[in-house]
């Protein structure tokens, strides 16, 4: 039996790329500083790289599935051409939130549906996996399925609704800091098995 591998679940807007609200124009894709270098290294640590993104613009009619698919193809192509990075999967929630911003489905973060679905599809060990995102909804989604989570403090979180499920393992300023943090955590888990 093949051992399950860990994943890095990655939020798209405000985390992997600069947040341009409801953008589907590939010309406006800009990677966050340090993201490509960090992901290249993390992929070498045998993490599956999985994008998990809320896209309520579909439900709101701001763009259609074809436009979003073209944007995501361009994103994947640029990751490969610019950094030799392949995503293992892209999970999209197409639903709008309910009143108050809470999920009206099982997949919209902070619900964990996209992470759980990807884990089942790709043999992911959720307990050894991480989520990086720019909002506490990303953190909560990770914690709801047993992953650890880092908040990338790029200005995406504006509500700061606190609860125990929404406390990240770390709040970091950029991708370089995240790569260094993850490297330390992995070294600790090797040196002291069972501590993470």
Give per-residue pLDDT as tens, 43-72: 999 999 999 999 999 999 999 999 999 999
Annotation marks residue 11 as catalytic: yes
Q: Is 77 within a domain?
A: yes
Per-residue pLDDT band at 3 (split at 50, 70, 90): confident
Full-model pTM: 0.94
Residue numbers of the domain that contains 167: 7-191
Q: Given this model, what pLDDT does residue 102 score? A: 73
CATH number of the domain where residue 31 is located: 3.40.50.1000
Starting at the edge strand that comes first in sequence, how are the strands of the sheet with 130-133 ordered?
89-93, 48-54, 7-10, 130-133, 148-152, 170-172
Q: Is 89 within a domain?
A: yes
Annotation marks residue 46 as catalytic: no
Q: Which residue is catalytic, options 13, 134, 137, 138?
A: 13
Q: Is 39 within a domain?
A: yes
Q: Do residues 76 and 39 make contact, with C-beta atoms less than 8 angstroms apart? A: no
Q: Given this model, what pLDDT does residue 60 score? A: 94
Q: Given this model, what pLDDT does residue 192 score? A: 63
Q: Is 196 within a domain?
A: no
Q: Which residue is catalytic, options 11, 134, 137, 138?
A: 11
Q: Which residues contact 117 (CB under 8 A, 6 or more apart)?
A: 91, 107
Whether the per-residue pLDDT at 42 is higher than 80: the answer is yes
Give per-residue pLDDT as tens, 140-162: 999 999 999 999 999 998 888 89
Tally of structural domains, the chain: 1
Q: Is 2 within a domain?
A: no
For a pLDDT cut of 90, what percent of the chain falls above it?
Answer: 86
């Amino acid at each position: 039996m093949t051992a399950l591998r860990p994943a890095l679940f990655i939020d798209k807007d405000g985390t992997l790329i600069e947040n341009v609200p409801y953008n589907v124009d590939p010309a406006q894709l800009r990677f966050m500083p340090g993201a490509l270098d960090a992901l290249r290294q993390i992929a070498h640590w045998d993490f599956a790289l999985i994008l998990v993104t809320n896209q309520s613009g579909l439900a709101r009619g701001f763009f259609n599935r074809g436009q979003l698919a073209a944007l995501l193809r361009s994103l994947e192509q640029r990751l490969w051409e610019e950094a030799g990075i392949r995503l293992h999967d892209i999970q999209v929630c197409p639903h709008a939130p309910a009143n108050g911003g809470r999920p009206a489905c099982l997949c919209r973060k902070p619900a964990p549906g996209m992470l759980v679905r990807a884990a089942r599809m790709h043999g992911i060990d959720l307990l050894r996996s991480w989520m990086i995102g720019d909002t506490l909804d990303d953190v909560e989604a990770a914690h709801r399925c047993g992953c650890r989570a880092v908040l990338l403090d790029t200005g995406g979180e504006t509500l700061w609704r606190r609860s125990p499920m929404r406390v990240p393992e770390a709040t970091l300023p950029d991708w370089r800091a995240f790569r260094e943090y993850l490297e330390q955590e992995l070294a600790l888990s090797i040196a002291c098995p069972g501590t993470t």
